[in-house]
Structures are given as C-alpha cells and as structure tokens.
C-alpha cells in the first residue's frame, strides 16, 4: 500500500465511523422515546440543541419531558422506526434526512396510527461525539387502522410479551434469557 492508499483508507474508515455514530444517535433517540428513557433520549441532543415537532419547539435536554407527556396522554404504546438515512458530513457538522415511521396505539386500544415522515437534523461532533443541534420533523402522511386483533382471544392465546414503556422492557434485560420474562403479555 502506498501512503496515498493509507491516507484514503483512513478517510474512508473515519467516514464509516461517523456515519455509524450518526445513525446510532437517531436510533438512540427512537429507543429513548419508546422506552420513556429520558436520559437516553436527552443524550441524542447537545445541551444547546433544539427540537421542532409542529408548533412545539423544545430545547433538546427538555424534549424528553415534553414528548413523554404527549405520548403518555394520547397513546398506550408506540414505536419509532428509523429507516434509510441520507447524510452529508463536512468536518464536525452533518446534515441528515432520516425517514421514519411511527406507530401509535390509541388510548382506547381499538385503533393504531401510522405516522410517516422524516427527521431533518443538523448534528455536530463535539469532543468526539455526534449529537443533534437542530431537529425538524416534517410529516408526510398518516394512516389509521384497526388494532382490535391485539385483544382477540386468538392473538392472546399466542402469549406475546408486551413492550414496556420503561426499563422493565425486555430490551434492557442483560443477559437476555427466556427464563425471566415480564408478566405483561397480550
């Protein structure tokens, strides 16, 4: 390998590490929302970061308080799914467009909403860590569907574990085993 090859390899590895860290930030944000993990969710933002969801504009560190209350008020459960991501990185600043689908089971449990859109983020790398400085959340569409099958005897007999809104969720179990499952099942 030539010195130029090694230099190019070094740039390529740095780019891949940056892309993975940026995607991990988006995933950390989604998981923090769904598990009501305020500390994890706040860790996606710099202290001076900001989040815009419609008319609600919150400083990043205060966003968990707002979003957890909004989700708790309206939904029994929800999942935020992070999909493909386009990312432009220039030094310690990145601009990303991340496609998302949010699925929200309404309080009465009969319907679920599928909200799809994008997160438009400006991230900055500070002290080697990528976090969000500005997030805007355009919504591209919304579908409402019947969720009553989740309470049908046929589904309940299958014994699926319910996702939990806190650290009781199986995703926190270490090590993950089959012997310790929560009592909350459908």
pLDDT of 182 > 70? The answer is no
Pairwise CA distance, residues 45 & 65, whole Å = 13
Q: Which residue range forms the structural domain that includes residue 157?
A: 152-186
Higher pLDDT: 185 or 76? It is 76
Q: Pairing between strand 111-126 and 45-53?
A: unpaired
Which sign, positive or negative, has the C-alpha torsion 113, 84, 67, 167?
Answer: positive
Give the mean model confidence (pLDDT) for residues 40-44.
98
pLDDT of 183 > 80? The answer is no
Our count of domains for the chain comes to 2
Mark whether 137 and 95 lie in a shared domain: yes
pLDDT of 12 > 90? The answer is yes
Mark whether 78 and 164 lie in a shared domain: no
Mark whether 141 and 163 lie in a shared domain: no
Mark whether 130 and 156 lie in a shared domain: no
Contact 127, 47 (CB under 8 A): no
What percent of the chain has pLDDT above 90? 83
């Amino acid at each position: 390998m030539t010195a130029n090859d090694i230099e190019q390899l070094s740039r390529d590895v740095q780019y891949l590490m940056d892309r993975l860290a940026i995607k991990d930030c988006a995933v950390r944000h989604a998981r923090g929302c769904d598990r009501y993990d305020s500390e994890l969710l706040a860790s996606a933002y710099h202290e001076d970061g900001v989040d815009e969801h419609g008319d609600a504009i919150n400083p990043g560190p205060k966003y968990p308080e707002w979003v957890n209350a909004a989700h708790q008020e309206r939904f029994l459960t929800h999942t935020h799914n992070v999909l493909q991501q386009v990312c432009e990185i220039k030094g310690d600043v990145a601009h990303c467009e991340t496609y998302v689908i949010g699925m929200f089971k309404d309080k009465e449990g009969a319907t679920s909403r599928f909200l799809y859109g994008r997160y438009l983020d400006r991230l900055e790398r500070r002290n080697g860590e990528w976090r969000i400085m500005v997030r805007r959340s355009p919504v591209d569409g919304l579908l409402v569907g019947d969720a009553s099958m989740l309470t049908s005897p046929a589904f309940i007999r299958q014994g699926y574990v319910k996702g939990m809104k806190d650290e009781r969720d199986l995703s926190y179990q270490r090590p993950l085993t089959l012997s310790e499952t929560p009592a909350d099942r459908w």
